[in-house]
Structure 1
Amino acid sequence: MSRFLIVVPPFVGHVNPVAGVAAELTGRGHDVAWAGDQELLDRLLPAGSTVFSVACPIPERPADVRGFAAWKFLWESMLVPLAHTMLPGVRDAVEQWRPDALLVDQQALAGALVAGSVGLPWATSATTSSEITDPLAAMPAIGGWVRGLLADLRLRFGDPLDGHDLRFSPHLVLAFTTIVLAGDPAVAVPVRFVGPSRRPARPIGFPWEWLDDRPLVLVTLGTANDDAGAKFLADSLTALRDRPGLQAVVVDPAGALADVPANVLCRTEVPQPELLDRAALVVCHAGHNTVCEALDRAVPLVVAPIRDDQPVIADQVVRAGAGVRLRFAHAGAERIGKAIDDVLAEPGYRDAAKRVQESFAAAGGAAEAATELEFLARST
């Protein structure tokens, strides 16, 4: 049996997909530990998980940052400083746990640096497909700037003789999607498309008796909780009020929505996978996890991307034919309502979602990811 260390940044969407892989590895008799934010991992992982606490401070992102400014903030103010602060804790975790291999999230650059410096095999966890499809290809100057930041990190803290991109392990990249949705990879590394990894169930209270036989719409913006997000959710309520033939669950993290119509239930947190099993449509921000969890159940989407990788994922949904895209800042109740009507009325969207679902099932999910990691650990 082998020992694995999973290195993750302090972002929910980057922990949930690999939680299923960790459960699969544990079920096969392997030892698995995590390195990351203790509070977040204690909340998301099963009780008794082995966690090495790593400092993961994250600055507050300005709510109005979009486009290139968002990419600049992500790399310059979040990911590069995060690599610096996580390095000592990840090194300690490797020294104490003595893993045979690491699984490193693309945004936990410290894991790649440590693995390279000590000569351990490591796999990249690509919990979003945006990087492997090279979203900056049309902006070569920005792409070069990012590669320069990564090269500087490697020269200062990793193996200076290794010229690989820290976002992509030269051994293995696990992509939690498929080519049917994401398209062909644009990187010269071994990418294994395993499809989404279903996360272990986490008990979250929900009044299931409230649901009836009407089509169910789930509205969620993930953890987005600013004024623009509040407006989008309020506009969604208005659109849904005019459609009493539908039921909807709206995720309202701040608990701030008022004047909620009778056919809508607002909750600060929901058991999303279980709700998706019953949903007819999802309205979301095109977060990779939400999109893949919906399509894994053949549920079509209305996507309104906000920033970062979300426009890339939204384009993938539209290109696959599994949903329609709205402009987040200019959606409004009328456009949201029309998009809901169009997707529910046109069976082609659900048919396309079904095609993506079939590709996910064929890819193997957490079981296939675990098999690839077993092979990586044995190959050293």
Structure 2
Amino acid sequence: MKRILFFTIPEKGHINPMIGPAVWLQKLGHEVRFHAPHDISSQLHAAGLQPLDANVLAAPPPEANRGAFFAEKVRDSVWLRQWIHRLLIEEAPAQIEGYADAIARFQPHLIVTDPMIYPAAIAAHEARVPWVALSNSLNPVLDDSVTSDLLDTVASLSADREALFTAHGMKLRFSGCDMISPHLTIAFATREFIGRDVPGVQMVGPSLPPAARGDEVPLDESLLSTTRKKVFMSFGSQIYHQPELFRKVIRVTEPMGVQLILSVNALLGTPELGELPPHVLALPYVPQLRLLPHMDAFITHGGANSVMEALHFGVPMLISPVCNDQFHQAHFLERTRAGQVLDLSTAAEEDITIRISRLLFNPHLKERVKALQASYAVDGARRAAELIAAL
């Protein structure tokens, strides 16, 4: 049995893909703990996992990283570049001690970290503990054909990043924001979606939990139409504040004869979202893994987990990326011709109608989605756990 310590960023998009591998590692007999800079104990306990500290004193994840303020700021390229530099580089030196302390207290045989947590890898290196880069994105599998503002930002901070690691005697390879571990790097993707094997990266398929993920909420399935096509729209847990986009899609879908299911978080019941017509079912938060199997189409910002889950369930997607790695998921979806990519903020409503109709009725697109679904019909969480345990 090994003691395995997970380091994660305390946001759903980073925590959720770690839950499945962690649960499988426990099932395989290993002792697993989580450490994060903010309190994530509620979700961990609901998933049958444990934080390193039984009495977590850190505050929950900051609200400044979600909602109206955040949704507006991430569209500002100058602000976003400064924010990313601060998170990845400027704050890292002061955080090393905290990760080193967690390692010293748990004495793990192995560390599994989000590959954007640079101080975690530095602390692991200095403690001589092997570490796994478990990515929540497609960063590890990017190639030169992928372009984005995020990659331009990463290029601008590369010298500072190299200096950070050189100061601690480390020379690493990077892909996008992610560290590539010399021990093991895992991406929750498939060769069929990416289009090639990636040296030094294990693509294991989707990370879905074997049981509860810990963030589930009730879903009354009797509210879902049994006679109409169903379209689901969500912009995730951080940049959900997109009232103009929701209203636009509401208008477009009203004459289409579909049911539109919205996950709108704190927008529910606000004047910004407005009065909802009868074809709309709006909820503050949706148990996505439970809802997606019932959906005929999915409109999304293109978060890596949402794309991974939709591919697993074979749901055609329209991606409207807003920031960061969402453009990377859009790139691969467009390359495989298994979905639509469209900027909803600038698109004409007629064009949106055409794109949604393609998702619902185009047989060639459905065939491409079905082919990719076959490659995503694997237990990537269990495979990741097996690779981690084998180190």
Identity fraction in percent: 26
Q: How far apart are residue 98 of structure 1 and its match?
A: 1.0
**Which residue does 1:72 correspond to in 2?**
81
1:136–1:143: 8 Å Cα contact kept in structure 2? no
Whole-angstrom distance in 2 between the partners of 1:66 and 1:181: 27
Q: Using structure 2 for the length normalisation, give the TM-score.
A: 0.86
Q: How far apart are residue 57 of structure 1 and its match?
A: 6.5
Q: How far apart are residue 70 of structure 1 and its match?
A: 6.4
Aligned residue type for 1:237: I
Q: Does 1:243 align with 2:243?
A: no
Q: Which residue, 348, 357, 362 being the options, matches 2:364? A: 348
Whole-angstrom distance in 2 between the partners of 1:138 and 1:290: 21
Cα gap change, 1:182 to 1:74, in 2 (>3 Å): farther
Q: Which residue, 329, 345, 356 being the options, matches 1:329? A: 345
Q: Which residue, 270, 288, 295 being the options, matches 2:286? A: 270
**Which residue does 2:221 correspond to in 1?**
208
Q: Does 1:184 align with 2:196?
A: yes
Q: How far apart are residue 89 of structure 1 and its match?
A: 2.4
Q: How far apart are residue 104 of structure 1 and its match?
A: 0.9
Whole-angstrom distance in 2 between the partners of 1:349 and 1:70: 37
SS of 1:32 mapped into structure 2: strand
Q: Which residue, 256, 264, 268 being the options, matches 1:252? A: 264
**Which residue does 2:331 correspond to in 1?**
315
Cα gap change, 1:333 to 1:43, in 2 (>3 Å): farther
Q: Which residue, 101, 110, 134 being the options, matches 1:101? A: 110
**Which residue does 1:111 correspond to in 2?**
120
1:288–1:313: 8 Å Cα contact kept in structure 2? yes
SS of 1:39 mapped into structure 2: coil
1:133–1:183: 8 Å Cα contact kept in structure 2? no
Q: How far apart are residue 133 of structure 1 and its match?
A: 0.4
Summarize deviations over 1:321-347 as a string: whole Å, max 9, x none.
Answer: 211111142135433222111211102
**Which residue does 1:168 correspond to in 2?**
180
SS of 2:315 mapped into structure 1: coil
Whole-angstrom distance in 2 between the partners of 1:147 and 1:136: 19
Summarize deviations over 1:129-168 as a string: whole Å, max 9, x none.
Answer: 1343057976997554333222222134x3x154544711
Cα gap change, 1:120 to 1:36, in 2 (>3 Å): same
Q: How far apart are residue 185 of structure 1 and its match?
A: 6.1
5+ long unaligned stretches in structure 2: none
**Which residue does 1:221 correspond to in 2?**
235
1:104–1:125: 8 Å Cα contact kept in structure 2? yes
Q: How far apart are residue 183 of structure 1 and its match?
A: 3.3
**Which residue does 2:203 correspond to in 1?**
193
Q: How far apart are residue 205 of structure 1 and its match?
A: 1.7
Cα gap change, 1:149 to 1:355, in 2 (>3 Å): farther
Q: How far apart are residue 230 of structure 1 and its match?
A: 1.2
Count of residue pairs brought into register by the alignment: 369
1:280–1:300: 8 Å Cα contact kept in structure 2? yes
Cα gap change, 1:219 to 1:95, in 2 (>3 Å): same
Q: Does 1:150 align with 2:165?
A: no
Whole-angstrom distance in 2 between the partners of 1:146 and 1:45: 37
Cα gap change, 1:225 to 1:13, in 2 (>3 Å): closer
Whole-angstrom distance in 2 between the partners of 1:235 and 1:85: 44
Whole-angstrom distance in 1 between the partners of 2:180 and 2:76: 24
Q: How far apart are residue 82 of structure 1 and its match?
A: 4.5
Whole-angstrom distance in 2 between the partners of 1:137 and 1:346: 27
Aligned residue type for 1:35: H
SS of 1:307 mapped into structure 2: coil
Whole-angstrom distance in 1 between the partners of 2:259 and 2:222: 13
**Which residue does 2:130 correspond to in 1?**
121
Cα gap change, 1:38 to 1:224, in 2 (>3 Å): closer
2:137–2:188: 8 Å Cα contact kept in structure 1? yes
Greater mean alpha carbon deviation, residues 202-211 or residues 34-43: 34-43
Whole-angstrom distance in 1 between the partners of 2:93 and 2:189: 29
5+ long unaligned stretches in structure 1: none
CA RMSD of superposed structures (Å): 2.6
SS of 1:358 mapped into structure 2: helix
Q: Does 1:375 align with 2:390?
A: yes
**Which residue does 2:319 correspond to in 1?**
303
Whole-angstrom distance in 2 between the partners of 1:251 and 1:62: 15
SS of 1:223 mapped into structure 2: coil
Aligned residue type for 2:254: R
Q: How far apart are residue 223 of structure 1 and its match?
A: 2.4
Whole-angstrom distance in 2 between the partners of 1:79 and 1:323: 32
SS of 1:19 mapped into structure 2: helix
Aligned residue type for 2:336: A
SS of 1:50 mapped into structure 2: coil
Aligned residue type for 2:87: M
Whole-angstrom distance in 2 between the partners of 1:93 and 1:366: 25
Aligned residue type for 2:162: A
Aligned residue type for 2:161: L
Aligned residue type for 2:11: F
Q: Which residue, 292, 301, 304 being the options, matches 1:285? A: 301
Whole-angstrom distance in 2 between the partners of 1:277 and 1:137: 30
